[in-house]
């Protein structure tokens, strides 16, 4: 490649410290160039990059880079976040150019966090704990999922939550997370995770729905907390009164699975081997595989995922991920089990990869809370 074009907000922020309408060009040699359509003035205030220039439109992109002495014959782009219309515009702007996908490469670079990034994730985790500590006082019989979800969201915002949860895939965003009572946790979902929810309507399948809380139902709360752009991911289960015994039993198995994976989160460990070992040692021998990691069609085939500027970063703890873990990768583990007629139970925490295994960054008790 002669260089890489970075257009999506997450990678633009990672490389420039600001999010603007524009393009970052990283040449094969030399300093990056930041071409900004809007707002050039704000970009100058926020980015430490030195080569920042105004750009009227993509039609001038190649000419501008050529004037700067940069070659643009073979260009890398993150195709997973690029719309067809933008790609067509870029293809027109570089009529003799060849494009190649660097989505995976950019994801792998972001996977290993600096100490600065880990520090922000720790702050997110500390605030996440305060949010969950307050949840028992918000619960009462007859309240709706939506009512609990909005109260949780309010508490998150008061602690500096960034307001949206970002996903790397297709540049998606989520308002808060999932609040499900009982069998709502098994409701079919288009989400990339195992948690189901109905939402207020088919037009807004987010946060929670109109279902009212009954005593003994699992209260499933799965949220991401963003602090200055960096996220932790956390799930806890609550219950108003004693939940059914199968829910408690399944929850304990999920805790065992989390611990088995956590111990293996060390530099050099292979995610696919971790996945296989834990399934063979804990999931299959206990007959736990049915509805594990999601009820029915909600089932997903991973045990955890990278997290940072987005909830869904590289690497995943899954059977097809063979790249060794590295120190300072941050991974959210989320063993969860769907129970027919009961709902979804499980746990999720965010961990730092260290020589001693995963260090939990989402502090606080992992136990199910009975109110």
Say yes or no: 34 and 130 in one domain. no
Say yes or no: 131 and 56 in one domain. no
Q: pLDDT tens digit string along 22-76?
A: 999 999 999 999 999 999 999 999 999 999 999 998 889 999 999 999 999 999 9
Say yes or no: 299 and 244 in one domain. yes
Q: pLDDT tens digit string along 344-353?
A: 999 999 999 9
Confidence of residue 104 (pLDDT cuts 50, 70, 90): very high
Task: Check whether 360 has a pLDDT greater than 70.
Answer: yes
What is the domain-level CATH number for residue 100? 3.40.350.10
The β-bridge relationship of strands 313-317 and 304-306 is antiparallel
Residues 6 or more apart whose CB falls under 8 angstroms from that of 280 comprise: none
Say yes or no: 116 and 88 in one domain. no
What does the pLDDT read at residue 257?
98
Confidence of residue 335 (pLDDT cuts 50, 70, 90): very high
Q: pLDDT tens digit string along 258-269?
A: 999 999 999 999
Domain boundary among 91, 109, 127: 109
What does the pLDDT read at residue 206?
85
Task: Check whether 167 has a pLDDT greater than 90.
Answer: no
| DSSP character string of 287-318 | T--TTBTSSGGG--S-SEEE-SSSSSEEEEES
What does the pLDDT read at residue 241?
96
More confident residue, 177 or 213: 213
Q: Which residue has the tokens 């999601």?
A: 294
Q: Contact at 8 Å (CB) between 329 and 306?
A: yes
Confidence of residue 299 (pLDDT cuts 50, 70, 90): very high
More confident residue, 164 or 1: 1
Say yes or no: 223 and 359 in one domain. yes
> Mean pLDDT, to the nearest integer, of 275-282?
98
- Residue 344 β-bridge partners: 338
Task: Check whether 272 has a pLDDT greater than 90.
Answer: yes
Say yes or no: 96 and 116 in one domain. no
User: What distances in angstroms separate CA 344 from CA 239, 314, 347, one per listed residue?
Assistant: 12, 25, 10
Instruction: State the angle between helix axes of 115-138 and 145-158 in degrees (0 to 180), rounded to the nearest 10.
Output: 140
Task: Check whether 175 has a pLDDT greater than 80.
Answer: no
Number of domains the chain is built from: 2
What is the domain-level CATH number for residue 136? 3.90.230.10
Task: Check whether 286 has a pLDDT greater than 80.
Answer: yes
Say yes or no: 129 and 64 in one domain. no
In three-state secondary structure terms, 61 is helix
Q: Contact at 8 Å (CB) between 80 and 169?
A: yes
Say yes or no: 290 and 340 in one domain. yes
Average pLDDT across the chain, whole number: 95
> Mean pLDDT, to the nearest integer, of 264-286?
98
Q: Which residue has the tokens 């752009």?
A: 229
pTM: 0.94
Confidence of residue 166 (pLDDT cuts 50, 70, 90): confident
What does the pLDDT read at residue 205?
86
Domain boundary among 79, 109, 139: 109
Say yes or no: 265 and 284 in one domain. yes
Task: Check whether 218 has a pLDDT greater than 90.
Answer: yes
Q: pLDDT tens digit string along 111-128?
A: 999 999 999 999 999 999
Say yes or no: 64 and 204 in one domain. no
Q: For 76, what's the count of Cα atoms within 13 Å in the CB-facing half-sphere?
A: 14
The β-bridge relationship of strands 21-27 and 173-174 is unpaired
Residues 277, 255: Cα–Cα separation, whole Å: 16
Task: Check whether 170 has a pLDDT greater than 70.
Answer: no
Task: Check whether 326 has a pLDDT greater than 70.
Answer: yes
Say yes or no: 151 and 234 in one domain. yes
Domain boundary among 85, 109, 133: 109
Say yes or no: 241 and 365 in one domain. yes
Task: Check whether 171 has a pLDDT greater than 80.
Answer: no
Instruction: Indicate the length of the chain as a whole number.
Output: 371
Cis ω for the linkage preceding 255 (within 30 of 0): no
Q: Contact at 8 Å (CB) between 355 and 203?
A: no
Task: Check whether 190 has a pLDDT greater than 90.
Answer: no
Tokens of 208: 């929670």
Residues 266, 126: Cα–Cα separation, whole Å: 23
Structural domain harbouring 68: 3-109
């Amino acid at each position: 490649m002669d260089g890489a074009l970075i257009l999506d907000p997450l990678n633009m922020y990672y490389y420039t410290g600001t999010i603007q309408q524009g393009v970052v060009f990283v040449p094969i040699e030399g300093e990056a160039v930041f071409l900004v359509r809007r707002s050039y003035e704000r970009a100058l205030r926020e980015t430490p990059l030195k080569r920042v220039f105004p750009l009227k439109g993509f039609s001038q992109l190649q000419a501008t880079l050529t004037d700067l002495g940069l070659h643009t014959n073979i260009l890398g782009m993150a195709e997973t976040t690029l719309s067809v219309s933008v790609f067509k515009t870029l293809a027109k702007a570089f009529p003799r150019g060849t494009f190649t996908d660097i989505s995976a490469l950019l994801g792998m670079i972001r996977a290993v966090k600096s100490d600065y990034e880990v520090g922000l994730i720790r702050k997110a985790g500390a605030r996440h704990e305060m949010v969950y500590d307050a949840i028992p006082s918000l619960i009462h019989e007859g309240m709706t999922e939506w009512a609990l979800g909005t109260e949780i969201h309010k508490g998150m915002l008061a602690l500096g939550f960034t307001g949206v949860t970002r996903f790397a895939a297709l540049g998606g965003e989520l308002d808060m997370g999932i609040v499900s009572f009982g069998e709502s946790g098994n409701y079919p979902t288009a989400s990339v995770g195992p948690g189901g929810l109905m939402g207020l309507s088919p037009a807004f399948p987010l946060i929670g729905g109109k279902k009212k809380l009954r005593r003994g139902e699992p209260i499933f709360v799965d949220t991401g907390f963003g602090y200055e752009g960096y996220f932790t991911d956390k799930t806890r289960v609550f219950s108003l009164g004693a939940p059914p015994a199968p829910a408690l039993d399944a929850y304990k198995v999920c805790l065992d699975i989390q611990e088995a994976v956590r111990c293996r989160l060390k530099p050099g460990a292979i995610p696919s081997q971790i996945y296989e070992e834990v399934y063979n040692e804990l999931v299959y021998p206990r007959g736990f595989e049915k509805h594990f990691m999601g009820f029915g069609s909600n089932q997903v085939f991973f045990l955890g995922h990278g997290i940072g500027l987005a909830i869904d970063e590289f690497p995943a703890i899954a059977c097809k991920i063979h790249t060794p873990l590295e120190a300072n990768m941050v991974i959210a583990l989320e063993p969860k089990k769907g129970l027919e007629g009961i709902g979804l139970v499980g746990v999720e925490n965010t961990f730092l990869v260290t020589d001693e295994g995963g260090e939990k960054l989402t502090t606080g008790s992992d136990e199910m809370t009975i109110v």
